[in-house]
Amino acid sequence: MDAGSETVPQWQRNIFKVLKDGGVRQVAYVPDAGHSHVIRSVIEDPEIEDIVLTTEEEGVAIASGAWLGGQRAVLLMQSSGVGNCVNMFSLLQAADFPFLTLVTMRGEYAEFNPWQGPMGRATQAALELMGIHVLRASRPEEVEELVTAGLEAAFQAGDRVAVLLGQNLIGRKKWERNQ
């Protein structure tokens, strides 16, 4: 895997393994430090296409198009990106597309950025209002099982699923000042 992978928490390695073993062939994302290991792993894997987005709602369309083309796709985003996707989530319901997104949470654990709070608090409710089943991982030992369950629910049962990765998993973010 990547250089320095020994410092990557096992739960992050497990996410990539679940996606790879689950037949995911496209991963769409807006760059995010919380997803950085999965993103680097996807970029390094020639069997999975990495798709950098300019905004998260593009990922909903990418995932839908991938399904129509016979492939599985996953959208990686931060909780702040959920607000950008609400209108596009209607596509998932109207066309009855399966969907899986992994959402790193902000605004809930030792958050330094006040702009992250409102959407962080509204993320789960917004997803549920749009018909997306929400699973939440707060401890490292929960991640692999919940991502596996989400993947199976989406691509075997045709469900729309979001796995929320609690901010406490990622750790505290701190504002860094250059002096």
- CATH number (domain holding residue 30): 3.40.50.970
- Whether residue 134 is contained in a domain is answered as yes
- Whether residue 34 is contained in a domain is answered as yes
| Rounded Cα distance, 4 and 87, in Å | 39
Structural domains of the chain, count: 1
- Whether residue 15 is contained in a domain is answered as yes
Mean pLDDT value of segment 10-23: 97
The structure tokens listed for 59 are 């990922």
How many other C-beta atoms lie within 10 A of the C-beta of residue 110?
10
- Return mean pLDDT, the chain: 90
Q: Within 13 Å of residue 47, how many CA atoms lie on the same side as its CB?
A: 9
| Rounded Cα distance, 147 and 83, in Å | 22
- Whether residue 94 is contained in a domain is answered as yes
Q: Scanning the structure block, which residue is given the tokens 């596009």?
A: 88
Tell me which residue range forms the domain holding 35.
5-170
Query: Using one digit for the tens of pLDDT, what is the confidence trace for 126-159?
Result: 999 999 999 999 999 999 999 999 999 999 999 9
- Whether residue 179 is contained in a domain is answered as no
* Global pTM value: 0.90
The structure tokens listed for 41 are 């792993």
- Whether residue 72 is contained in a domain is answered as yes
